[in-house]
Amino acid sequence: MTQPALSRSLRRLEETLGAPLFQRHAGGMTLTSFGQAVKRHGERVEFETSRLIEEIRMLNGAASGFVRVGLVPSAVNTLLTPTLAAVNKIAPDIQVQVIEGAGDTMLGAVASGHVEFAIIGDITIDFAPDVVVTPIGDEEVCVAARTSHPIFSRGQLDLEDLKTYRWVLPEKGNAIWVGFDNLFRRNGLEPPTPVVATNSVHTLKALVCGGNYLTMMTRVIFEQEENSGLVRPIPLPVTHWRRELMLVRRNRVNSFPAEKLFLAELIRQAQKMDAPV
């Protein structure tokens, strides 16, 4: 559109509304309060138009869209993989960006809008006022070590015995780290200081499989290594507990069909795991 044609269109809009939308000055134009109101409604109309087009495409079996989701590592196999498989059957053109990280990081990503929603472990921190948190399931957490670790050659263990070994753990602030800290403090013990702290699951598993370290992590994370006989949980009941998984999302009225489809399938997969939703 040429500048004269644009100016005529704006004047006609102002005449129709009976209000000036811009303050015109030597340096250019700025929105008036009337203009700000039109801008807000215009953006909503644009969003709803895009949502309608995407919904029609989905009904025609040609849905596309972009979904950003945050996950703690343990949810990749249990929830993300089956959700992606189901969504791809319905709408194969939907693109998904997965951001993996600790619960506090994922919570911040939801609050800032970097992801639409996230699955995190239950953590005791304040949530932003526009963030909705819903329980979606739980998973076993335990202390583990490689099968050849000297701890398995000992007799009966107690919690204090675990303080004599070297630990590798997720970084402070992670839901697993909070559980580790509480495990010892609830029993009147000072938690041991880990020799390595990392939020890389690959690093944790590599260190545990290759050295005499203890770690605490969700059991599903080392399921393959446990089935292969490389890693074992410590046979001490107090070191096994279940943590709640939470679905975190912003409190929004509108969302794109691709987001709604992915979220609905994610919740359905959690229900299949006999998890409360």
DSSP the chain: --HHHHHHHHHHHHHHHTS--EEEETTEEEE-HHHHHHHHHHHHHHHHHHHHHHHHHHHTT--EEEEEEEE-TTHIIIIIHHHHHHHHHH-TEEEEEEEE--HHHHHHHHHHTSSSEEEEE---SPPPTTEEEEEEEEEEEEEEEETT-GGGGSSS--GGGGGGSEEEEPPTTSHHHHHHHHHHHTTT-PPPPPSEE-S-HHHHHHHHHHSSEEEEEEGGGGHHHHHTTSEEE-S-GGGEEEEEEEEEEE--S---HHHHHHHHHHHHHHHHTT---
Task: Please name every residue paired with 244 in a beta bridge, in sequence order, or none if there are none.
Answer: 138
Q: Are residues 133 and 253 in the same domain?
A: yes
Full residue range of the structural domain in which residue 179 is found: 139-243
Instruction: Specify the amino acid at residue 271.
Output: Q
Whether 102 contacts 181, CB under 8 Å: no
Q: Are residues 167 and 223 in the same domain?
A: yes
CATH of residue 238's domain is: 3.40.190.290
Does the residue 70 lie in any domain? Answer: yes
Q: Are residues 249 and 215 in the same domain?
A: no
pLDDT number for residue 165: 95
Mean pLDDT by 10 residues, the chain (277 residues): 88 91 87 90 73 62 71 85 89 84 78 83 65 86 96 90 94 82 92 91 93 94 93 94 87 73 88 59
Tens of pLDDT, residues 70-85: 888 888 888 899 999 9
Q: Are residues 215 and 144 in the same domain?
A: yes
pLDDT number for residue 18: 93
Does the residue 277 lie in any domain? Answer: no
Which residue, among 78, 123, 121, 116, has the nearest Cα to 98 in the 3D structure? Answer: 116
Q: Are residues 148 and 26 in the same domain?
A: no
Against a cut of 0.75, is the pTM above it?
A: no
pLDDT number for residue 63: 52
pLDDT number for residue 209: 95
pLDDT number for residue 276: 42
